[in-house]
Amino acid sequence: MKTYHTYHEIKSQTKAWAQALEVTSRSNLPKAADYDQVVFTGCGSTYYLSLAAAALYQEITGRAAKAVPGGELLLNSPAYLTNQRTLLIALSRSGTTTETCKAVEIFKEEKRGEVVVISNYDEVLSHMADVNIVISNGQEESVAQTRSFASMFVATTAFCVRMTDCDDRLSAMRELPKAGERLMEKYESFAKEIGEDLNFDRFYFLGSGIRYGLACEVNLKMKEMTLTHSEAFHFLEFRHGPMSMIDEKTVVIGLLSEKNFGYEQAVLDEIKELGGKVVALAEAKAEVSFESGIPENNRGVLYLPVLQLMAFYRSLAKGLNPDRPKNLTAVVKLNI
């Protein structure tokens, strides 16, 4: 397995988590009270990261936040930006993604507000930032984002915490790398078993609140690496139509919360009754249990490693190269 960059990047990601916490904790960040709204932007994986981060920011701070794809912010900014005091958080693994770079450039030219950049490379985007957070340990050789996404998500989580001066929560997050190591050690064989079972032909990922963006991301990993039919939904939305797709060839993976555990588990129980294979991830009482002791709003990254490994092993089982997904490049650059 060590011959694949993707495997190494998944297994070594906790070092990038630790660096993300260190870099973010010593960055000179603005205060939530200084802005009427925060806009998170990125493309592909980092747009899904933006969805999770915006929900987390609003939940933690009680202040307005939204996620906007970089391309939409570039082409249709009046639909998303107002004259309110705005902080823009730009997310990019490479720091060179065309849409995000151009959107930030225009945002700065129009003097709409300050920009925070979270990336894995000190590149063009970082040079436009008022606050620059670079997690170099998250850099990757492979195309599909795994270690990079997780490192930037830890950084955005720490960013949200620091915007409210909750240093005790930041301290609790320092246990994340150890928790991540334990998870991979305990559940890698489980991820391999599900991933290698080619009797399954479709995957659905369910998550609500901050977990919806994470469900979208692991869904993307399954698509990219394995060329398998895969979709993401909010938990209760899955009942409204998609439930008709359930049969014995379906895997439904639920990213369970503590607050709404009962409602979400009820959806998974219905899926089991219809013959679908269910995999639940939660702090406790699930097929994959974190048992981390870390507050719910601060442990979101723990949903990622086991599901990344599942996609990796499925890719191998289908005779594909997880490092080089079909039709994709690591960085999207457009002639704009």
User: In the prediction, which pLDDT does 170 show?
Assistant: 85
Same fold, 5-173 and 176-317: yes
User: In the prediction, which pLDDT does 5 show?
Assistant: 96
Tell whether the model's pLDDT for residue 211 goes beyond 90. yes
User: In the prediction, which pLDDT does 334 show?
Assistant: 63
User: In the prediction, which pLDDT does 272 show?
Assistant: 96
| Class in CATH terms, 176-317 | alpha beta
User: In the prediction, which pLDDT does 307 show?
Assistant: 98
Alpha-carbon gap, residue 113 to 310, rounded angstroms:
41
Its pTM stands at: 0.95
Where are the chain's structural domains? 5-173, 176-317
Tell whether the model's pLDDT for residue 74 goes beyond 60. yes
Alpha-carbon gap, residue 115 to 296, rounded angstroms:
27
pLDDT digits (tens, 9 = 90+) for 114-133: 999 999 999 999 999 999 99
Picking from 86, 97, 83, the residue whose alpha carbon sits closest to that of residue 49 is 97
Average pLDDT rounded to a whole number, residues 232-255: 96
280: enclosing H helix or E strand: strand 277-282
Domain 5-173 has CATH 3.40.50.10490: yes
Alpha-carbon gap, residue 127 to 291, rounded angstroms:
40
Contact 40, 57 (CB under 8 A): yes
Share of the chain above pLDDT 90, in %: 88
User: In the prediction, which pLDDT does 103 show?
Assistant: 96
User: In the prediction, which pLDDT does 7 show?
Assistant: 97
User: In the prediction, which pLDDT does 25 show?
Assistant: 92
pLDDT digits (tens, 9 = 90+) for 148-197: 999 999 999 999 999 886 667 788 999 999 999 999 999 999 999 999 99
Tell whether the model's pLDDT for residue 1 goes beyond 60. no
Contact 202, 39 (CB under 8 A): no
The residue assigned the tokens 């790398």 is: 177
User: In the prediction, which pLDDT does 45 show?
Assistant: 97
How confident is residue 286, by pLDDT bands cut at 50, 70 and 90? Answer: very high
User: In the prediction, which pLDDT does 330 show?
Assistant: 58
DSSP 305: H
User: In the prediction, which pLDDT does 111 show?
Assistant: 92
Picking from 37, 66, 35, the residue whose alpha carbon sits closest to that of residue 52 is 66
Q: Kindly report which listed range (160-164, 249-253, 270-274) carries the lowest average pLDDT score.
A: 160-164
User: In the prediction, which pLDDT does 117 show?
Assistant: 98
User: In the prediction, which pLDDT does 166 show?
Assistant: 66
Alpha-carbon gap, residue 37 to 290, rounded angstroms:
33
Alpha-carbon gap, residue 152 to 167, rounded angstroms:
19
DSSP 234: -
User: In the prediction, which pLDDT does 30 show?
Assistant: 86
Average pLDDT rounded to a whole number, residues 46-63: 95
